[in-house]
Every structure is written in structure tokens, then in C-alpha cells.
Structure 1
Amino acid sequence: MTANREIDSILQRGADGGRITPEEALLLYTEAPFHALGEAADTVRRRRYPDGIVTYLIDRNINYTNVCVTACKFCAFFRAPKHKEGWSHPTEEILRRCGEAVELGATQVMLQGGHHPDFGVEYYEELFSSVKQAFPQLAIHSIGPSEILHMAKVSGVSIEDAILRIKAAGLDSIAGAGAEMLPERPRKAIAPLKESGARWLEVMAVAHRNGLSSTATMMMGTGETNAERIEHIRMIRDVQDLAVSRGYQDVPVEESHAVGGFRAFIPWTYQPENNHLKGRTQATTMEYLRFIAVSRLFFDNVAHLQASWLTTGKDIGQLSLHMGVDDLGSIMLEENVISSAGARHRSNLHELISMIRTADRIPAWRDTWYRHLAVHRTPADDPTDDRVVSHFSSIAIPGGGRKQLPLVEAS
């Protein structure tokens, strides 16, 4: 079989829902014609979601501390313990921001922060329970395996005990944070103090087993090889195979397209400012788009594929809707981590809806579990709140919805 015929055969099998191997995925990523690759990936999207709907979310990313002992080389957000620019927010400030988010229509909050040397399971129990008590309508899709491992170590408990306790306190879903690159070589190069990729996946598997689904992410462009990019998604797919085979789920199947385990895969691109890597390596737009398409073909067991317009820009985010993507993610009422490294793309509710509609898709507002809250089939169905805008600050409502509390100095 010639190379072209082999590629055509793999593309057809993937488009039909058949499984492709990591070796075949690498061949597609490096050699498949761009338009044929995108067409095959979009065929998968159309088969999964024949109604043509592309979803978006309204949420707020709230950082409770920038103090971190892990010092990842790509991170521009963290400050070491005792650093004069280190801070931690009191619970009252986090609740204020949650209140603003609810006022703007958010259904989800993402609470994230550094590996603070003093923050064990007890801290997160208090934080999550406070948010749930004040705003029971908010889904807490927060922290990642790295934070869970850190809190368990600080408190001297097992991973499973930590997960069960924070779930009981109100955690609804685990974010894919901290995945970066899962294969050993690139991970050690950019985050030598972080847990291994296998350990990251182990935490996710324990969470899935205990009724918490999650997302999975990947950061492209820090010097990893093409083969390592494919190995990253192979590692995720293997864990998802386990979740699917055991029937894990955290919402009734009839209420959601997603089963338990990983609900969505979200690749994003490394941002080069204000960090130790200094932008020496970055992923190109074509590399990103090709990887999006290969991911849709490769993940026959992950329901949703989300584009990262925040790191690639809105034009590329919209173009990705023709490469197999069915979700544009959040408007992000607040985001401070990636933006500190140079990602300054912003959007608003009307613009995100327009991006979807002008790509010949139907916009739909979703919740954490991809249940549709509103479908905007025509402009007459569109929401009218002009305040729902991306922000890179602590104030989501212009002028501030509530008095801002002072920061607590890092100890």
C-alpha cells in the first residue's frame, strides 16, 4: 500500500468511528493532507453531534493563592513562599467573586492556585463547603491531580481519602490542570518538581472510580516531539478505556452526551512571556490545528473536544470548529494564570455566539456536564446581557459588584 493509500485508509477508518493506533495517529499528524485531515475529524463531529450544535460556558477562574513550591518553568503566575509578591485570598473574597459570577450567569466556578506549603485537605474542605453553602447552584469544577497530591501530602492522607473528603465538601468535577505534557522526558524538562505523568493519571483514575468526572488537557510547544504529543493522548485514552469499560458516570446517561471519566480534551499552546522558558519553543498554528483534528480521530472514547481560543486567538478558535471541535469552552469572566504569560485574547458573550454562528454552527449555552441550558437557533434567541465579558482582573462587573477585600499576605 502506498503512503497516500495508507493515509486515506486510516482517515476513513477514523471518520467511521474505528480506532486508530498511536503510530497511525503520528502518521496522520505529520503527513496527512490538511484539508483531508480536517474533513475526517469533522465527520466524526457530525456523526456525534448531527444537530450542528457547538457549546460554550459561562464561568469564572478564581485563584485563591499564587504561592507555590513546585516552580514550573513555564509558569509566570507563581511566587515562591515568603516572596513579597505572594498572596492568598480570604474565603470572603472568593465568595465575593463567586457572587459576581452568579450575577453574570455563571453556572461553574474554577478554583485554582499554587501548591501552597500550608494548604492541606482541610483548607479545600473549608473552601468548597463555603462556596457550596453560599452558592449551591454553582458547579465547582476545580483543582487538578497535582493539587490533590499536594494536599494529600500536606495532610498525611491517601489520594483516595483526599478525593472523598473534597468531594463530600462540594467538589463536583476535577479540572485537567497540571497535565502539561505527560510523557516523562518533556515533563521533567519543564516541571522537574511536579509528579510524573503516570501519577497524574493515577489520581484521575481514582477520581473517576469515586464518581468524579474530569477534563484532560495538554500544553503544546515547550520542546516536545511530535511522537511525545501523540504519546500524551495515548496515555489519556488508555485511562479513559478503563472508565468506559467499568461504566463510570457522574450524571444520568440520558441527561448528558458524556459518560464518566474524561468528558472533554482541551489542548492549548504554551505562552512565552515572563517565565523561565522564555518562548524558546512554541507550537505553530498549523501544528495546533492538525493536532486538534488528530485528537478528534484518536479519542473514540472521549465525548467532547474543546478549542483554546484564549491561547490561540479567536480566529483560530473559530477555524478549529471545522477540525472536529464541538465546544469553545468558557467566556472566562476572570483568568489570571495564562494571561500572566502573555495570553491576552478576550471575548464576550455576543462575540462567542457570533463566532459559532458564522462558522455555520448552532450556538448553545451548556453547563459543566454539557447539558444544554439554552440553544440560540436564531439571533432572536440570543441573550442580551452586555456585561458578560472576559476579564484579566479581580473585578468581573465594571465598578465592582461588591467591596473588594484586601489580600492576605503570604505566610
Structure 2
Amino acid sequence: MSTMNSNRLSPERARALFAETDVFTLGRMAHAVRMRIHKDAVVTYIVDRNINYTNACDCGCKFCAFYKAPEDAQSFVLSFAQLAEKIRETVELGGYQILLQGGMNPDLALGYYIDMLEFLKRDFPSVAIHGFSPPEVQYFVSKSGLPLHEVIAALKQAGLDSIPGGGAEILVDRVRTAVSPNKCNTDDWLAVMEEAHNQGLRTTATMMFGHAETLEERIEHLERIRSLQDKTGGFTAFIPWTFQPGNTALEAKETSSSEYLKFLALSRLYLDNIDNIQASWVTQGPMIGQLALFFGANDFGSTMIEENVVAAAGVHFRLPEKTLRKLVLSAGFTPKRRNMDYSLREDDGDVVSS
């Protein structure tokens, strides 16, 4: 998409549009943009597994129901054998990527992550590794004492294929200080993404909303993402999802499906330089995920063979690949397997979609 658009939404116009436009009108506007970008009415998805290699974390984010303090008896670090078993099962189920994320574990040095990547690439060379969110990468930097560019280069050399947009929450330091004061700040999050893009790694961008932020701060988040994309072009997709308050230390009302869909639509309109917007059925459920395909989303995310973080908050949606494809088909779209960079998979024809 062109970034030289005279009709590009400004933050002020975006605020007014959200306040003055009803959810259905905003949805129609976003869907029109989506169909202009993706004229073939295809909805993409990926077959992968979320693997949390450790739940030990010394960040103590108020919104997280998954982490354990490093000294907690319930904290864990998966062995390489356990990782391999999870990936073997993923491949047997048709998966071809893993999303590899964990906590900020003070007992693990950078060498552990390098060894893990080299092990996974040696034993599973065909499986893409989408791993280590920007806060994790910045943690590796602080623990190792190496500069950011050297840490990312080492991870890439060891086998890292792409970086997920986790740990963004809201890219405004007031909010980050309130909900995750021990995690990297906004500029540090963006610095990881910019350096990754400069080194040829593609990444995703995310937002977790519906907790301590204002509408203005949500839009500021979108602006920071759009500005970096103008500079690097390295983001493949934007994925907004809603905070799930169950079992967390953060008090907030659960965001309504209407609010989710309305902001999803605004995201599609604002991010005029990011081609793909992902529906979050993991937090909203399959039916709202399907509805999101008419509010600007063109991607149905992952089949989520395994997911632990949202599940720890008490939300347990699951979607086998055949069911996912049926939802897409019944909405009037053609489902297609994709890679992280949104290239389509040649093995899509192997899937039974009826």
C-alpha cells in the first residue's frame, strides 16, 4: 500500500471517526478498504503451535495470568527433548511453524537461546521459528551486555526466522509504567523491530487493549506502528486483541465484542501501510472471529495447536484446521494456508475443507 496518501487518517480524525461513527458504518468502511487491498476474497491462516519454553519471569506484569516467579515451585523450563516432542507432534498435525515465547527468566543466558535455536533448526529444518518478542530480546541484551544489533544477528544466525509482536500491550509509556513497569519501554520495543527489519527479519505488530489505556493512547500506539512501517516496511501484519482479566492482578472490565470490532475496523483504516489485519478468535471466540472478516480483517491467525497464555486467564477457545476453514468458507471467503510473510502455501490443496 502507498504511504503517500493525501487521505491518510490523522490521530485527530481517527479519534473523531471512532467517536462519531457507529460500529456497523465503521465496519463497512474498513471492509471496503480490506477488499480493495485483497481483491481475491481470500482469508489466510497459518498452522502453528505456541510453545512457551519457560513460564519463569521476573517482570511481574499485572495483566499476565501465565507467569510464575523464578523461585516458584510451579515455574518450569522445557528441556530440548520436550521441545522436540512438541514440534514432532506439530508436524504430524500439519504444522510448519512454531511461535516460541517465554518469560524473562534470570537463570537463562543468551547461550541457552542460541543453543535452542541451533538444536531446533538441526532437527526440524523445515519448521519456521517465529520467536522472542521485543521485551525478550531486550532482556537478552541486558543480560548479555551485548549491543542490540549483535544479539539479533546472533539469533538470526542460529536459526530465528521472524519476530512476533508480543509485549507491545500499548506503546505509550504512561500505560506501560502502570501495567508492566519492569518491561522494556516503547522506544526499546520499537528499536528491536527496527533493527530486526534492518537485518532482513520480518515481524508482526500487536496491541492488547481494554485495560488502562485511553482511546487517544490506542491511536498513539497505531501512529507509532505506522511511522515505523513507513521507515522500514518490515511488519507483515497487525494483530489487535482484548485484555482478558481472569486470574490477573489488573482490574478492568472485559471489553465487549462491539468495542473489539469497532477498534479492529479503525485499525484497518489507520494502518494504510500494513497489508494484513488479523482477527483474534483466540480471545473473542470463533463467531466474533468470523464476523471480524467483515470489519477489516483478512487473516484468521493461527490454528493454535497449543496456547497457554490466554488460557491461563480462563479463555479456552480451540479451532481445528477443518473447522477454521469451514468458518471462512461459510462467511463467503476462500481459506488459504500461508507462511509468516503471507506467501501462500503450495500444500493448501492437501487440506480437506468441507
Question: What interval of TM-score do these two structures reach, taking the shorter chain for normalisation?
Answer: over 0.9
Give the match for residue 344 of structure 1.
316
SS in 2 for 1:199: helix
Give the gaps of 5 or more residues in structure 2.
none
Corresponding residue number in structure 2 for 1:21: 10
Deviation at 1:34, TM superposition (A): 2.3
Q: In structure 2, what is the Cα distance between the partners aligned to 1:55 and 1:351?
A: 14
Indicate which of 192, 204, 217 corresponds to 2:193: 204
User: Match of 1:187?
Assistant: 176
Per-residue Cα deviation, 1:30-67 (whole angstroms, up to 9, x for no partner): 21132221111111111111110001110011111110
Q: Cα gap change, 1:385/1:45 in structure 2, threshold over 3 Å: closer, same or farther?
A: closer
Q: Is the 8 A contact 2:11 2:223 kept in 1?
A: yes
Q: State the secondary structure of the residue aligned to 1:55.
A: strand
Distance 2:296 2:275 in 1: 11
**Residue-pair matches, total:** 351
CA distance in 2, matches of 1:17, 1:332: 39
Displacement of 1:374 in angstroms is 5.2
> 1:18 Cα shift?
3.5
1:62 is aligned to 2:51:
yes
Hey, what's the Cα distance between the residues in 2 that align with 1:72 and 1:162?
24
Larger radius of gyration: 1
Question: How is 1:138-177 mapped onto 2 (pairs within 5 angstroms)?
Answer: 138-177=127-166
- What is the Cα deviation at residue 281 of structure 1? 2.9
| Pick aligned residue for 1:100 from 89, 109, 118 | 89
Identity within the alignment, %: 43
- What residue is the counterpart of 1:365 in the other structure? 337
Aligned to 1:118: 107
Aligned to 2:239: 266
Q: Residue 335 of structure 1 aligns with which residue?
A: 307
The 5-angstrom pairing of residues 66-77 of structure 1 reads 66-77=55-66
Alignment pair present for 1:213 and 2:202:
yes
Q: 1:175 to 1:17 in 2, by over 3 A?
A: farther
Give the residue type in structure 2 aligned to 1:265: F
Q: What letter matches 1:360 in structure 2?
A: G
Where 2:154 maps in the other structure, the secondary structure is helix
SS at match of 1:50: coil
TM-score by length of 2: 0.95
1:305 to 274, 277, 298: 277
Deviation of 1:95 after TM superposition, in Å, equals: 1.1
Unaligned runs of 5+ in 1: 1-13, 245-260, 387-411
Q: CA–CA distance in 2 between the matches of 1:20 and 1:350?
A: 38
Amino acid in the other structure paired with 1:119: L
CA RMSD of aligned residues (A): 1.8
Which whole-Å CA distance do the structure 1 matches of 2:36 and 2:346 have between them?
22
| TM-score, scaled relative to structure 1 | 0.82
Opposite residue 328 of structure 1, the aligned amino acid is F
SS in 2 for 1:200: helix
Please give the alpha-carbon distance, in whole angstroms, between the structure 1 residues aligned to 2:122 and 2:346. Answer: 26
Contact 1:307/1:325 (8 A) holds in 2: yes
Instruction: After superposition, give the CA deviation of every residue in 1:320-340 in whole Å (9 maximum; x if it has no partner).
Output: 100111001001110111110
C-alpha contact (below 8 Å) 2:325/2:353 kept by paired residues: no
Match of 1:353 in 2: 325
Stretch deviating more after TM superposition (51-60 or 19-28) = 19-28
Asked if the contact 1:55–1:326 (Cα under 8 Å) also holds between the matched residues in 2, the reply is: yes
Partner Cα distance (1:34, 1:277) in 2: 27
Q: Check conservation: 1:121, 1:165, Cα contact below 8 A.
A: no
The secondary structure found in structure 2 opposite 1:338 is: helix
